[in-house]
Amino acid sequence: MPQSVDRALDLLDAVAEAAEPVPAKVLARQLDCGLSTVYDLLGSLTERGHLARTPAGYTLGYRVPALHRAFQRQLRIDERVHEALLRLRRSSGADVFFSTYRDGGIAVLDGAAGPDSAFSVGQDTAAHATAHGRALLAALRPPPAAST
């Protein structure tokens, strides 16, 4: 991957992982990248709506929810699934998630959870240690035996 694309994605990830707006200087230190490079990348990401600039620093932009909706549309996750998850959360008081086996791993596709949830939408790299991951992994068919 070209270095500039890789750095732009690292910036986006760093802002997404932050609990509050992140100043450009903090991002430059965190990514071990020159401040002028960070400003150039932040400008591009902000102009496209992936990030937003606030007086306190950078936050995720308004384009991010649209990307998530496109992700759900491409996976054919109907809005009714999300509504059902919300109803389940309200009635049970527990966090609820819609997960699947995808691209060789477990992915959390949608959910309704509190702010302190251990899960979020995306690939679950610790699926072997979670109830939903174990349930999905147990349901997989074993690969065919190799012939000798």
pLDDT, greater one: 95 or 120: 95
Is the predicted pLDDT of residue 61 greater than 80, yes or no?
Answer: yes
Kindly indicate the confidence band of residue 148, based on its pLDDT and cuts at 50, 70 and 90. Answer: low
Phi, psi of 60 (to 5 degrees): -65, 145
**Axis-axis angle for helices 24-31, 35-47 (nearest 10):** 120
Kindly indicate the confidence band of residue 147, based on its pLDDT and cuts at 50, 70 and 90. Answer: low
pLDDT, greater one: 68 or 39: 39
Helices within the chain (DSSP H only): 3-17, 24-31, 35-47, 63-74, 79-92, 131-138
- The predicted structure's pLDDT at residue 69: 82
Structure tokens at 64: 């991010």
pLDDT, averaged across the chain: 87
Structure tokens at 24: 């450009």
Q: What is the pTM of this model?
A: 0.66
